[in-house]
Amino acid sequence: MGDAMKFVFCEGSGDQLVIQSLARHLNLEVTVETTGGKDNLPNFLKSLQTRPEFARQQVETMAILRDADRDAAAAFQSVQNFLRQSGFPAPDVNGAFSNTLLRVGVFIVGVNGVGMIEDVCLKSVSDLPEFSCVDSYFACISEKSARSNSSSKAKVRVWMASHDDYDYRVGKAAEKGYWPWESPAFDPLKNFLKAL
């Protein structure tokens, strides 16, 4: 990698595996690590200042990926604030990089301003004929029980149940090639990663 290192930091191990698989697909040379969750982001960012590659200014670019959850704007502002409090530059808008010596980017992951990496992956397969069965399954559960909401993580598990490798979660499914990287659902994320 030489002296110009590039990092992508994401929330958890599932996100990490998805981003690593997508980066490989794009032939990008980047190190992908987990922050240990969004609640740990402030501590994680402070710890970066003491890492040798950061202290020696060998890092050219770093990107923070975080789930939108219920509000992409609030998630972006949170990451932006944590970056600044930790002494890092922050971009002015989501999906962009700061124009500084150490380029810092932030990408809030979701679909239409809400959600998480699972939602993006599900959107990438939503046009497949069998995908309607996932919604039918949860509609049936909702009709016959008190459970009215289903998480994106649960939907990934149900969709994966229709495959030979049925026990894979979002990250392992990415490693095994289940997500179609050419889907337009991944375009914003791919464009961001290519800008590293």
> Mean of the per-residue pLDDT values for the chain?
92
Please, are residues 23 and 17 in contact by the beta-carbon 8 Å criterion?
no
Average pLDDT over residues 81-102: 96
Please, are residues 133 and 90 in contact by the beta-carbon 8 Å criterion?
no
Would you state the pLDDT for residue 146? 79
Kindly report, residue by residue over 110-158, the tens digit of the pLDDT. 999 999 999 999 999 999 998 999 989 888 988 888 777 778 988 998 8
pTM over 0.75: yes
Q: How confident is the model at residue 166 (pLDDT cuts 50, 70, 90)?
A: low
Which three-class secondary structure state does DSSP give residue 98? coil
* CA dist list (Å): 150 to 32, 37, 119, 158: 29, 21, 12, 11
Position 2 pLDDT exceeds 60 = no
Q: How confident is the model at residue 168 (pLDDT cuts 50, 70, 90)?
A: confident
Pairing mode, if any, of strands 31-34 and 59-67?
unpaired
Distance from C-alpha of 73 to C-alpha of 139, rounded to nearest angstrom: 30
Distance from C-alpha of 173 to C-alpha of 167, rounded to nearest angstrom: 9
Identify the weakest region by mean pLDDT among 4-13, 60-69, 147-156: 147-156
Please, are residues 23 and 78 in contact by the beta-carbon 8 Å criterion?
no
Would you state the pLDDT for residue 167? 67
Distance from C-alpha of 57 to C-alpha of 31, rounded to nearest angstrom: 16
Residue carrying the six token digits 């919604």: 135
Please, are residues 195 and 38 in contact by the beta-carbon 8 Å criterion?
no
Distance from C-alpha of 147 to C-alpha of 152, rounded to nearest angstrom: 14
Kindly report, residue by residue over 15-56, the tens digit of the pLDDT. 999 999 999 999 999 999 999 999 999 999 999 989 999 988
- Name the DSSP class of 167: T
Would you state the pLDDT for residue 10? 97
- The type of residue at 40 is N
Would you state the pLDDT for residue 1? 40
Residue carrying the six token digits 């046009």: 127
